[in-house]
Structure 1
Amino acid sequence: MEVPKASDVLAGNLRERILSGEFVEGTPLPPERELVTQTRMSRTTVREALRILEVQGLVRIKAGRAGGAFVQRPGEEDMARSVGLLIRGRQIRLSALLETREAIEPSCARLAALHRTDEDLVVIEAANDAIAGSGTDLAGFLQANVDWHVAVATASHNELLTGLMMALQKAIYTSTENESFVDEEVRRTAVRAHRTITNAIRDRDPDAAVRRMSRHVHSYAKALLAVDKRTEIDIPDAD
Structure 2
Amino acid sequence: MEVPKASDVLANELRERILAGEFPEGTVLPPERDLVSQTKMSRTTVREALRILEVQGLIKIKAGRAGGAFVHRPDRESLASSLSLLIRGRQIRLTSLLETREAVEPFCAELAARNRTDEDLAALDDANDRIEKEEGTLADFLQTNVDWHVAVATASHNELLTGFMMALSRAIYAATENEGFINADVRRTAARAHRSITKAIRDRDADAAVRKMRRHVHSYAEAVLKVEQREAITVPNGD
Moved over 6 A (4+): none
Q: Which amino acid in the other structure matches residue 143 of structure 2? A: Q
**Contact 1:113 1:209 survives alignment (8 Å):** yes
Query: What SS does the aligned partner of 2:123 have?
Result: helix
Q: Which amino acid in the other structure matches residue 120 of structure 1? A: D
What is the match of residue 229 of structure 1? 229
| Long gaps (5+) in structure 2 | 233-239
Deviations 1:181-223 (A, max 9, x none): 2111110110000000000111111111100000000011111
**What value does the CA root-mean-square deviation take over the aligned residues?**
1.2
Normalised by the length of structure 2, the TM-score is 0.94
**Contact 1:134 1:140 survives alignment (8 Å):** no
What is the match of residue 121 of structure 2? 121
| Counterpart check, 1:153 vs 2:153 | yes
What is the match of residue 235 of structure 2? none
Q: Select between 21-30 and 170-179 the one with higher mean Cα deviation.
A: 170-179
What is the match of residue 192 of structure 1? 192
Alignment of 1:74-85 (within 5 A): 74-85=74-85
Q: Which amino acid in the other structure matches residue 193 of structure 1? A: A
What is the match of residue 162 of structure 2? 162
Give the C-alpha shift of residue 175 in structure 1: 2.1
The alpha-carbon distance between structure 1 residues 60 and 231, as it changes in their structure 2 partners (threshold 3 A), is farther
**Contact 2:127 2:148 survives alignment (8 Å):** yes
Give the C-alpha shift of residue 136 in structure 1: 4.4
Alignment of 1:84-103 (within 5 A): 84-103=84-103
Give the C-alpha shift of residue 154 in structure 1: 0.6
Normalised by the length of structure 1, the TM-score is 0.94
The alpha-carbon distance between structure 1 residues 64 and 106, as it changes in their structure 2 partners (threshold 3 A), is same
Instruction: Determine the C-alpha separation between the residues in 2 that align with 1:228 and 1:173.
Output: 15
Q: Select between 52-61 and 152-161 the one with higher mean Cα deviation.
A: 52-61
Instruction: Determine the C-alpha separation between the residues in 1 that align with 2:155 and 2:100.
Output: 19
Q: Which amino acid in the other structure matches residue 168 of structure 1? A: L
Instruction: Determine the C-alpha separation between the residues in 2 that align with 1:196 and 1:52.
Output: 46
| Long gaps (5+) in structure 1 | 233-239
Give the C-alpha shift of residue 29 in structure 1: 0.8
> Aligned residues, how many?
232
Deviations 1:76-117 (A, max 9, x none): 111111111111111111111111101110111111111111
What is the match of residue 236 of structure 1? none
Q: Which amino acid in the other structure matches residue 60 of structure 1? A: K
Give the C-alpha shift of residue 230 in structure 1: 3.4
What is the match of residue 64 of structure 1? 64
**Contact 2:32 2:46 survives alignment (8 Å):** yes
Give the C-alpha shift of residue 179 in structure 1: 4.7
Instruction: Determine the C-alpha separation between the residues in 1 that align with 2:34 and 2:106.
Output: 50
Query: What SS does the aligned partner of 2:61 have?
Result: strand
Deviations 1:155-182 (A, max 9, x none): 1110000011011111112222125121
Q: Which amino acid in the other structure matches residue 91 of structure 2? A: Q
Query: What SS does the aligned partner of 1:30 have?
Result: coil
Instruction: Mark the structure with the bigger radius of gyration.
Output: 2
The alpha-carbon distance between structure 1 residues 16 and 134, as it changes in their structure 2 partners (threshold 3 A), is farther
Query: What SS does the aligned partner of 1:230 have?
Result: helix
**Contact 2:134 2:184 survives alignment (8 Å):** no
Q: Which amino acid in the other structure matches residue 199 of structure 1? A: K
